[in-house]
Chain A
Amino acid sequence: MTSSAKREARRSTNSDGPLLRALTTIPALAYLLIFMAVPLVLVISYAFLTSGRFGGVRLPVSFESIARLTQPLYRDVLFTSILTAGAATLIAFLLGFPAALVITRLTPKWQTVALIAVVLPFWTNFLIRTYAWIVLLNREGLFNHALANVGLGPIDVLYTRSAVVLGLSYAYIPLMVLPIYASLQRLDPSILEAARNLGAGGWRRFRTVLLPLTMPGIITGALFVFIPSLGNFVIAELLGGGNSQMIGNLIRDQFLKARDWPFGSALSLLVLALLVIIVMAQARASRRTREWSA
């Protein structure tokens, strides 16, 4: 066989034939088209139309909804939502990082047990778990009982923004723990020992070695917590009472209560734009870490 014939043979076995390729890619393309592209196009076009009398949209094209986004009221809701989701992310990190660290120090068998325990809450209903917090946090609940036992309280945590932050970090903390755990697992333990051998105490080892080397996992975890927190409206509604609105509540209300679909779409676009910026920043950061981790 000549070398070009050989190459030809190799190419044909690699390319699997056009039919097979179509069969494998068309479902994925269809999925993306139906569940991503179509809704996105709808949301974008709704934002530039006029609200129908009983919901829905109608012509003419209008920039009114986009313009309303700049009103201080809505800006403030977006801003506090970012703060709330940011606080939830921070708390999830502060609790999740040590948790992941402890898990990596366990024997392999106990690591599996601990990881299952971390994801276990995901297998129970989200609403039920959130209701459980109401029971824990209310005036007669476990939290205030515990405080009373040490001579404090009662504190009204329920129906405040703190309760929302708590609920959000509780709900999404597994998404912080898992990626951090994965990057800690990949870390060669002798690198930390080397730092120690060179004279670095615990805090310096954390700051100069552990933190930078697990940064990809931390950023991933932070996004996994921040993004759903920003859009979440159930927790704000159940634990936050009336005055802790998140942008998610606002969007939902535009569709279901105010029946102003164009403005709801405009708000959604705003959140989407924000997330795109964050994800792009993350992609840049991870490109930098790829440079040394190759």
Chain B
Amino acid sequence: MTVTPAPLLEIRNLDRSFGEVRALKSVSFDIGENEFFALLGPSGCGKTTLLRVLGGFEQPDEGTVMLDGSDLLSIPAERRPVNLMFQSYALFPHMTVERNVAYGLECEKVPKDEIRQRVGDVLATVGLTDKRSALPNKLSGGQRQRVALARAIVKRPRLLLLDEPLSALDRKIRAEMQMELKRLQHEVGITFVVVTHDQDEAMSLADRVAVMDHGEVRQLDTPLNLYRRPRSLFVADFIGTSTILRGRRVNAQWETPELPPLACGDDCEGALAVAIRPESVRLTSDSDASTQVRGIVSEVFFQGDHAIAQVRVGEVAFLVSIREGTLPERGASVGLSWDEGALIPLVEE
């Protein structure tokens, strides 16, 4: 996968504190042209603060941001080629859908005919042509969200920032809107930065994801790599599910309390812990020579196309994904096995 051709946005060493709270701690990364970038992290980790710095509503204590090679932070908010879709949508309640969307173009003094044309096009894109004369309070949540989106993209910004764009929507509309966002991004060719605390959303939408925690970017990678090669306990735990075994590598084997030593590769040298994803683990029969540990099935969670079994080996709970065959009974004694490469080394907390 090719990423960041020429960086559109270069963020360097951003710091921002609110009294005792350090909302951003030396945040640095690049965002490429036309990239769909996601900021993912638990509540209060500084995602909104970062977007507000980019939008110009918050000045960082330290650090620089370059957009297209020129200093973004010295431009006042109203003149930045950056549009923000607010967490609360922030539609103008006294204006119709059409006037909400036209507002940004009127500010730019775009000719009236062109405004009408562009507003019409964008409303068609988001499927709100028949609601053009409605006031925002007459719209459903999903429709409001699309107005907010239309209002932001009609300006054709260099960078579109979306703060939890889908969090107010129920599951089904949410999935539809995710598809729509992705389609829009291809269609209009704008660089998207989406904030979310929903890992599935980040993973399914984004080209790259920055995982944040307590104001720090803990890891920045493609969704696939984040899932396959999390660097830290935090990321392994935050993204997907896994069994985490703290311990250390001794004589090319992973030593962890309560389990026999497990075969592991050289990359586990120096790690704090290893993670094992449920789909890397197999249930084995009694006679299977590859069996590494034995345990008791304590729970089975049926998930539709697969099931997750929780298998207790002493105090350790392994998660096993089962895609075919019969599901084990609770209380059954089973063997578990995995390939050596299934152990993902975690080098940070």
A-B complex is real? yes
- Residue numbers in A under 8 Å from B171 (CB-CB): none
Tell me the bound Cα distance from A208 to B78 in angstroms: 15
| B108 within 8 A of partner (CB) | yes
Q: Does the CB pair B77–A197 fall under 8 Å?
A: yes
Q: Does the CB pair A190–B90 fall under 8 Å?
A: yes
| B285 within 8 A of partner (CB) | no
| A285 within 8 A of partner (CB) | no
Q: Does the CB pair B107–A198 fall under 8 Å?
A: yes
| A113 within 8 A of partner (CB) | no
| A200 within 8 A of partner (CB) | yes
Q: Does the CB pair A197–B78 fall under 8 Å?
A: yes
Interface residues of A in 253-294 (CB under 8 A from B): 289, 291-294
- Cross-chain contact of A200 among B83, B86, B107 (Cβ < 8 A): B107
- Cross-chain contact of B86 among A194, A204, A292 (Cβ < 8 A): A194
| A196 within 8 A of partner (CB) | yes
**Per-residue A-contact encoding for B52-72, CB less than 8 Å = 1, 0 else:** 000111000000000000000
- Residue numbers in B under 8 Å from A197 (CB-CB): 55-57, 77-78, 80, 82-84
Tell me the bound Cα distance from A294 to B93 in angstroms: 9
Q: Does the CB pair B84–A188 fall under 8 Å?
A: no
- Residue numbers in B under 8 Å from A292 (CB-CB): 93-94, 135-137
Tell me the bound Cα distance from A209 to B55 in angstroms: 19
* Total A-B Cβ pairs within 8 A: 71
- Cross-chain contact of A291 among B92, B103, B135 (Cβ < 8 A): B135
| A201 within 8 A of partner (CB) | yes
Q: Does the CB pair B93–A198 fall under 8 Å?
A: no
| A212 within 8 A of partner (CB) | yes
- Residue numbers in A under 8 Å from B137 (CB-CB): 292-294
- Cross-chain contact of B93 among A190, A196, A213 (Cβ < 8 A): A213
CB distance from A37 to the nearest CB of B (A): 38
| A64 within 8 A of partner (CB) | no
Q: Does the CB pair A213–B107 fall under 8 Å?
A: no
| B241 within 8 A of partner (CB) | no
Tell me the bound Cα distance from A195 to B100 in angstroms: 10
| B172 within 8 A of partner (CB) | no
- Residue numbers in A under 8 Å from B91 (CB-CB): 191, 194
Main DSSP-derived SS at the A contact region:
helix
CB distance from A13 to the nearest CB of B (A): 34
- Residue numbers in B under 8 Å from A195 (CB-CB): 92, 103
| A193 within 8 A of partner (CB) | yes
- Residue numbers in A under 8 Å from B87 (CB-CB): 190
Q: Does the CB pair A193–B155 fall under 8 Å?
A: no
CB distance from A91 to the nearest CB of B (A): 27
CB distance from B252 to the nearest CB of A (A): 56
| A199 within 8 A of partner (CB) | yes
Tell me the bound Cα distance from A272 to B8 in angstroms: 66
| B88 within 8 A of partner (CB) | yes
Q: Does the CB pair B77–A191 fall under 8 Å?
A: no
- Cross-chain contact of B78 among A188, A200, A213 (Cβ < 8 A): A200
- Highest count of chain A CB atoms <10 Å: which of B55, B78, B104: B78
Q: Does the CB pair A199–B92 fall under 8 Å?
A: no
- Of all chain B residues, which has the CB nearest A191? B90
Tell me the bound Cα distance from A230 to B240 in angstroms: 71
CB distance from A188 to the nearest CB of B (A): 6
Q: Does the CB pair B77–A196 fall under 8 Å?
A: yes
- Of all chain A residues, which has the CB nearest B82? A197
- Cross-chain contact of A190 among B79, B88, B151 (Cβ < 8 A): B88
Q: Does the CB pair B108–A212 fall under 8 Å?
A: no
Measuring CB to CB, which residues of chain B are less than 8 angstroms from any residue of chain A? 55-57, 77-80, 82-84, 86-88, 90-94, 103-104, 107-108, 135-137, 151, 155
Counting from the closest, the 10 A-B pairs by CB-CB distance are A199-B107, A198-B104, A194-B90, A190-B90, A292-B93, A191-B90, A197-B84, A196-B78, A190-B86, A292-B94
Contact sample, A vs B, 20 pairs, CB 8 Å cutoff? A190-B86, A190-B88, A193-B77, A193-B84, A194-B86, A196-B56, A196-B57, A196-B78, A197-B57, A197-B84, A198-B78, A198-B107, A198-B151, A198-B155, A200-B103, A200-B107, A204-B107, A292-B93, A292-B136, A294-B137
